Amino acid sequence: MTNTWADIKNTNLAVIMGGNAAEAHPCGFKWVTEAKAHNKAKLIVVDPRFTRSAAVADLYVPIRAGTDIAWLGGLINYLLTQDKIQHEYVKAYTNASFIVKPGFGFSDGLFTGYDAQKRDYDRSSWGYEIGEDGYAKLDETLQDARCVFQLMKAHYARYTPEMVERICGSPKDKLIQAWEWIAETSAPDRAMTSMYALGWTQHSKGSQNIRTMAMVQLLLGNIGVAGGGMNALRGHSNIQGLTDLGLMSNLIPGYLTLPSEKEVSKATYLQSRGFKPLRLGQLSYWQNYPKFFVSFLKSMYGKEATADNDFGFDWLPKLDVSYDVLRTFELMHQGKINGYFCQGFNPLMAFPNKKKLINALRQLKFLVVMDPLATETASFWENHGQYNDVDPTQIQTEVFRLPTTCFAEEDGSLTNSGRWLQWHWKGADGPGESRSDIIILTDLFLRLRDMYRKQGGALPEPILGLHWPYKLVEAPSAEEIAREVNGYVVEDITDPKDASVVQLRAGQQLDGFAQLRDDGKTACGCWIYSGCFTEKGNQMARRDNADPYDSGLAPGWAWAWPVNRRILYNRASCDLNGKPWNPRHKVIEWTGKAWAGADVPDYPPATKPEAGMNPFIMNPEGVARLFTLGMMRDGPFPEHYEPFEAPVANALHPKVNANPVARVFKGDLEVFGTADDYPYVATTYRLTEHFHYWSKHCHINATLQPQQFVEIGEALAKEKGIRNGDSIKVRSNRGQIIAVAVVTKRIRPLNVDGKMIHTVGIPIHWGFTGQTKKGFGANILTPYVGDANIETPEYKAFLVDIEPAAPSV
Amino acid sequence: MSTLQSLDITRRSATTSPSPSVRESEEVAKLIDISKCIGCKACQAACYEWNDLRDEIGINVGVYDNPPDLTENTWTLMRFTELEEDGELEWLIRKDGCMHCADPGCLKACPSPGAIVQYSNGIVDFISENCIGCGYCVKGCPFNIPRISKKDQKAYKCTLCSDRVSVGLEPACAKACPTQAISFGTKKDMVEFAQTRITDLNERGYDKAGLYDPPGVDGTHVMYVLQHADRPERYADLPKDPKISPLVEAWKGVAKPVALVGLGLTALFGFLHYVSTGPNEVEETDEEQAKKAIDRPDEKREGR
């Protein structure tokens, strides 16, 4: 989230698209009801299904699954043609005026630089024109045909309301009504919040779905303001913490990236991470990258990390390709991975194409599952009849189950969607032989280290040299780790003018990342978390809910990264002179001497408005990007591509139907189905009664939603002779499931380019363990293709066929 | 269960002796704002948790209502209604459960002394140890709420968390509701608060929005804010004008003297039954005797 949960109460318009907050985030959704009850806010829900969010919405607009970019591209076109943008904001705070290189272009579904062999772009033409002074050129009148504004306008001119209706199947009157309401928030004192989740990410162009709405929000001037923002509703209490701490194959903590195999030294690694300002007077805060990076290495390798050995740079893994989950299981499937640690997730249910997953897992020599529950993954080798039809005698994989404690059975912090780190205390001992993840991994590490010490081995340094400063060597505490993540002073830091004055003493906790250094005198596990555990104590454990500005920000409650800032980019909540766009919901303002207000300024506090420093201080140009340069693999402007399995051809460019750079493994391409065989659009989703594949183990949750079902509209049910409560079979080109039919008015056929398209809704929560009735994984049906940028699988739009079935046993 | 003190009881079933009146508490009410309800069932889960109840893990019968009906273990239930009118879709989600009528049909119908009581704060409670399992409360209820347990043949329903309310807490469902669709307070405050919600709904185009506090039962201590107050039946058949069955009214009003004989008989048979076979079964003779007790006033009325 750029903003924070409680800030949603300040909005004028909540748009839930690509998510279903009322069902998947009921506690957070309370802030929408607050906004409606106390701020006269409206709620728009755009979804293929009339969800429980839609049940309390002021306007519901149906949409065909997988066509969000067309819908939002149409909205961009609408805002531009109706001149409903926040002009001053767009001109000063975005790259609308920047001139793009003459080599850049787009035609017939492809941007310049496409290589069909590699299924990738040469992105070198996707950049700014740089002047002789080394800075990007711009045209403040926005008239230059090569400026971002004009290119954007031309790009989205194709997305007329008629075209959007043809692609999305959203009735035009509803579409225009929604766009009108959204356009009203271009007024400087009105804000719209975008609330989204997996409904946007789980597509072959998931990142671009989000990008498109981010562009809309920038055009409306809704980023950085109270009640605005791009608000990702994270699907797990600590999934924000997972990404923050770099638990992705290509990341290290704080969104630093692992070196590639071509980056053979710290110097070459940092060369491409210079972040030189692209305009005069810009902060370009990522210029501090070396400080974050070296401090991270110091926290990893302690005294072993020295300037002479590049602070242990050589000991970091170097990537040849990214090792996302789809690639990992592909490699496992090829027999190239033979041991797998599965900690805190359930891939057999969570990744696409279950048949392939089973075949991958059986290639393993050993599988270790660390989880509080006996998951399906831990039991993949058990025969559960039609629900898991495997022959255990043919599976040789050795499976180790290491029961872990649950979050309530240990101390620690959880990072929520709003970037709050909230400390929690152990409520009870875990059952049986369960141990915390920290203890299990410590045990594993100590044994490995012992083996390296006694037997030696390849590259022993990162193991033997790992900094291990904990009081109880075999049991590091959550507090000790939190202190390490915050960062501390390694060596006394003296005043540069007078070496006898010690400014920071060795061993002292850092106040924040502004104190980090690239000379090895500071250590910090995750720079964005620096400030969470200072000399003043554990900031995450704060529980002061005072809200002096009535802003919903409650600055004394827990601690938010970065530096306890609750609304990112909040300098943009003020005009060029530092006056809030919306005086009723001030976030910060220029007081004449400093930036101050309800939130921690996202800006150097003493920099005067007239200094010309732009508000988006992380970017080298200081402004937000409507045109993303080469950051996204699939284009600097989002473009509508059909899902890999789509019921119709791409109306904009039939030759380039689906995302041209999304990765498809050999063998997976062959199992995509076509609309001739599988005429219905399927989408998978969660229900409010369950949490993923966990809560089916709880009696009460199991009572509330006991049995797998599939939702179909009345028209399709009639056509197929299916009655409410009947058993139906759903087939894709990868497999089939049987479930109870819920025949509903809430899923209606959509008129897509003259063709009536039916949607089949598939909730995901059932499996072959737990207290609910046994069910089939919805991932039996889903295709093995991921988003072009971050490889999130395409669970939200694929093709199926249905037929009546005999009830499953 | 009896969780408030006897001092708080203003009415007992099948009892004519006056109730204690030295202490009178303020009337309370639960307000359920359907326009804020997202059907998450947190209230339902909280009800199971607080009351230590567990229902069977059933099956899906083609709807989101799970279990499909109220039971002796499910005292509150989300009922989902899909409506389509002029192409506009609505999914109305109503939290069903005891309405805690000011004039409770269950209490009036109950032949067992003190099996159903009403407290001065308005809560209607079943005192399980006095229940003889005759099922008349089910017939007396205009909202079809009480359910007879197959395990002990006693009637069960929502207590409005009288145990929590007695120590100054809100009912568990209200506590758990994430969107504050359920509010709890004095009836007066809740009626006032409802007006602010109705104004908001009017402004959003629901010109028939209103409060459901039906006069046919002298009002209720569980009230709804409805988007379509003119058509409550849209909400999973919420009765438009609920009234206590005339049979029950007659039994309490016109035929009181005869009824008392019936009461005596019922109590006697209940007692005999208890000492002979224990508390957990109801024999046919009990049913018959109890039936006689309620049938007689009807005969008398017909004879008039």
pLDDT tens-digit series, residues A40-59: 999 999 999 999 999 999 99
pLDDT tens-digit series, residues B135-166: 999 999 999 999 999 999 999 999 999 999 99
Q: Decide: helix, strand or coil at residue A17.
A: strand
Q: Decide: helix, strand or coil at residue B296.
A: helix
Q: What is the pLDDT of residue B263?
A: 55
Q: Are A558 and A420 in contact (CB under 8 A)?
A: yes
Let me know if residue B115 belongs to a domain: no
Let me know if residue B131 belongs to a domain: no
Asked whether residue A469 carries a pLDDT value surpassing 80, the answer given is yes
Give CATH for domain A669-804. 2.40.40.20
Q: How confident is the model at residue B272 (pLDDT cuts 50, 70, 90)?
A: low
Q: What is the pLDDT of residue B24?
A: 82
Q: Are residues B276 and B299 in the same domain?
A: yes
Q: Where are the domains of chain A?
A: 5-235, 669-804
Asked whether residue B269 carries a pLDDT value surpassing 80, the answer given is no
Nearest to A33 among B59, B89, B180 (CB): B180
From CA A444, how far away is CA A436, in angstroms rounded? 13
Q: What percent of chain A has pLDDT over 70?
A: 100
- Taking alpha carbons only, the member of B106, B124, B107, B142 closest to residue B215 is B142
Residue B38 touches chain A, beta carbons under 8 Å = yes
pLDDT tens-digit series, residues B94-141: 999 999 999 999 999 999 999 999 999 999 999 999 999 999 999 999
Q: What is the pLDDT of residue B285?
A: 54
Asked whether residue B299 carries a pLDDT value surpassing 50, the answer given is no
Q: How confident is the model at residue B259 (pLDDT cuts 50, 70, 90)?
A: low
Each residue of A767-798: b (16+ CB within 10 Å) or e?
bbbbebbbbbbbbbbbbbbbbbbebbbbbbbb
Give me the phi and psi of B250, to 5 degrees please: -65, -40
Query: In A, residues 57-116, which contact B (CB 8 Å cutoff)?
Result: 58, 60
Q: Are residues B296 and B214 in the same domain?
A: no
> Domain limits at B262?
245-304
Residue B175 touches chain A, beta carbons under 8 Å = no
State the average pLDDT for chain A: 97
Let me know if residue B120 belongs to a domain: no
- Taking alpha carbons only, the member of A315, A319, A300, A311 closest to residue A251 is A319
Q: What does A516-569 look like in DSSP terms, one character per residue? A: --SSSSEE-S-GGGTTSEETTEEGGG-B----TTSSS--TTBSEETTTT-SSTT
Query: In B, residues 117-146, which contact A (CB 8 Å cutoff)?
Result: none
Q: What is the mean pLDDT of residues A274-291?
A: 96
Q: Are A42 and A12 in contact (CB under 8 A)?
A: yes
CATH number at residue B181: 3.30.70.20
Length of chain A: 809
Query: For residue A70, how far is the Cα from the chain centroid?
Result: 21
Q: What is the pLDDT of residue B260?
A: 54
Q: What is the mean pLDDT of residues A343-372?
A: 95
Let me know if residue B161 belongs to a domain: no
Instruction: Verify cis geometry, omega within 30 degrees of 0, for the bond prior to A749.
Output: no
From CA A565, how far away is CA A542, in angstroms rounded? 15
Q: Decide: helix, strand or coil at residue B81.
A: strand
Q: Are A585 and A191 in contact (CB under 8 A)?
A: yes
CB atoms within 10 A of CB B88: 8
Q: Are residues B182 and B86 in the same domain?
A: yes
Query: In A, residues 739-768, which contact B (CB 8 Å cutoff)?
Result: 740-746, 748
Q: What is the pLDDT of residue A538?
A: 98
Give the nearest chain B residue to A772 (CA atoms). B57
Asked whether residue A388 carries a pLDDT value surpassing 50, the answer given is yes
Q: A29 and B82 in contact by Cβ < 8 A?
A: no
- For the ranges A186-195, A507-516, A555-564, B11-20, the lowest mean pLDDT is seen at B11-20
Q: What is the pLDDT of residue A132?
A: 97
Please state the pTM of the whole predicted model.
0.94
Q: What is the mean pLDDT of residues B203-222?
A: 97
Query: In A, residues 613-642, which contact B (CB 8 Å cutoff)?
Result: none
Q: What does A341-369 look like in DSSP terms, one character per residue? A: EEES--HHHHSS-HHHHHHHHTT-SEEEE
From CA A552, how far away is CA A540, in angstroms rounded? 18
Q: What is the pLDDT of residue A299?
A: 98
What value of ipTM does the predicted structure carry?
Answer: 0.94
pLDDT tens-digit series, residues A712-765: 999 999 999 999 999 999 999 999 999 999 999 999 999 999 999 999 999 999
Q: Are residues B209 and B256 in the same domain?
A: no
How far is A190 from chain B, CA to nearest CA, in Å? 19
Q: What is the pLDDT of residue B250?
A: 77
Q: What percent of chain B has pLDDT over 70?
A: 81
Which residue type is seen at B121?
A: N
Query: For residue A7, how far is the Cα from the chain centroid?
Result: 20
Tell me B122's DSSP state: S
Q: What is the pLDDT of residue B281?
A: 45
Contacts of residue B151, defined as CB under 8 A and 6 or more positions apart, other chains included, come to: B72, B280
Q: What is the mean pLDDT of residues A497-520?
A: 97
Q: What percent of chain A has pLDDT over 90?
A: 97
What spatial distance separates the first Cα and last Cα of chain A, rounded to whole Å? 44
Q: What angle do CA A33, A765, A346 make, to 5 degrees?
A: 115
- Taking alpha carbons only, the member of A41, A410, A44, A297 closest to residue A195 is A44
Out of B213, B234, B255, pick the residue that ends a domain. Answer: B234
CB atoms within 10 A of CB B154: 22
- For the ranges A190-194, A245-249, A605-609, B285-289, the lowest mean pLDDT is seen at B285-289
Q: Are residues B249 and B230 in the same domain?
A: no
Q: Are residues B210 and B251 in the same domain?
A: no
- Taking alpha carbons only, the member of A356, A318, A302 closest to residue A334 is A356
Let me know if residue B152 belongs to a domain: no
Q: What is the mean pLDDT of residues A167-171?
A: 98
Q: Are residues B196 and B289 in the same domain?
A: no
Residue B45 touches chain A, beta carbons under 8 Å = yes
Tell me which fold the domain A5-235 belongs to.
Answer: Dimethylsulfoxide Reductase; domain 2 (3.40.228)
What spatial distance separates the first Cα and last Cα of chain B, rounded to whole Å? 40
Number of domains in chain B: 2
Asked whether residue B261 carries a pLDDT value surpassing 60, the answer given is no
Asked whether residue B262 carries a pLDDT value surpassing 90, the answer given is no
Asked whether residue B268 carries a pLDDT value surpassing 80, the answer given is no
Sheet order of strands, A230-232 included: A59-62, A42-47, A13-17, A192-196, A230-232
Q: Would you call B281 exposed, middle or buried from its count of C-beta atoms within 10 A (0-12, 13-18, 19+)?
A: exposed
